[in-house]
Amino acid sequence: MLHRLTKQGLICITQLNHAWLSGQLAQVWGNEHFAQFAPKKEVCLGAELHDIGWLFWEQAPTLNPQTGYPYKFAELSMREHIDIWSSAKQLALPLSRYVALLVSLHGTGLYERFTSWKNSPTSSEIVQDFFKHEYAFQEQLIAFFTNDPYYAPYTTPEVIERNRKLITIWDALSIILCQELTSEAHLSQVPTIDSETTVKLTLKEAKDNHHQVTVSPWPFQHSQVELVYEGRLLRQTFSDEKAMQEALMSSDCAVTLSTTLQPE
């Protein structure tokens, strides 16, 4: 879950809704400087479902007693995180094998980049076991795709790495937009046609639940991008977990959020 603090209270955005926003970004990505990607339908769906492992947790989010709000995704224990990411590939698999591969790659990529788990012997054991099973799953799917006439061109190391990196970028961009962008943010190592660049986001206007943000350099197909997503507004903190969950599920706290992206 992501948090956006406002004057009215705390807007909670589920991991699934944040992933939906990632999918919207994928759908309109690419121009003469930022190349297209393939297979497009599968990669867009992979972006939209990259956090599918959070499906069950988000239906009954747990309470952080220190804040009185539901836990943010980064506040859960290593064991909880690994359980969530271990289930993700199986939830994605009935939809598409290629999507399941991308979801699994995104999960292992998180622990390859963010390595604080190495500071704890217990966490290290948990993560290494996770790697063992995920890598075996990935190798099995890649071997299958290599012999598949349709997917073989999309299963080379270069194509897989580019698609994995793009989902990472859309994930990070979505997190920035879902949380409170107060001035500027920067995304580094964004793939272009022939290299990588840093993309700058600047908040131009924040009015009610709509944000206007400029992006430079511009990576999208259209001259303007309209995004819509959803959150749940909590106007108070909680000491009772069930009361918090009931408040989150109430239609009274639902809010529609939108962001307009424009070139700088």
What's residue 100's pLDDT? 98
Instruction: Tell how strand 184-191 and strand 63-64 pair up.
Output: unpaired
Dist CA 50 CA 100 (whole Å):
9
Six-digit token string for 152: 């073989």
What's residue 254's pLDDT? 95
Q: What is the DSSP string of 57-82?
A: HHHSPPEETTTTEEPPGGGS-HHHHH
Closest CA to 54 of 67, 43, 70: 70
What's residue 68's pLDDT? 97
Q: How far is CA 229 from CA 44, 98, 264, in A?
A: 16, 25, 23
What's residue 93's pLDDT? 97
Dist CA 164 CA 182 (whole Å):
28
Query: b vs e for 23-55, b when ≥16 Cβ sit within 10 Å of the residue's Cβ?
Result: bbbbbbbbbeebbebebeebbbbbbbbbbbbbb
Domain ranges of the chain: 2-263
Dist CA 17 CA 144 (whole Å):
31
Helix (H, G, I), strand (E, B) or coil at 138: helix
Q: E strand or H helix at 106, and its extent? A: helix 97-113
Q: How many CA atoms lie within 13 A of 103 on its CB side?
A: 31
Dist CA 176 CA 168 (whole Å):
13
What's residue 36's pLDDT? 87
For the chain, how many residues are written? 264
What's the predicted TM-score (pTM) here? 0.96
Q: E strand or H helix at 122, and its extent? A: helix 121-146
Q: Tell me the mean pLDDT per 10 residues along the chain, length 264.
A: 94 98 98 94 98 97 97 95 97 97 98 95 97 98 96 96 97 94 92 95 92 97 97 97 95 94 96
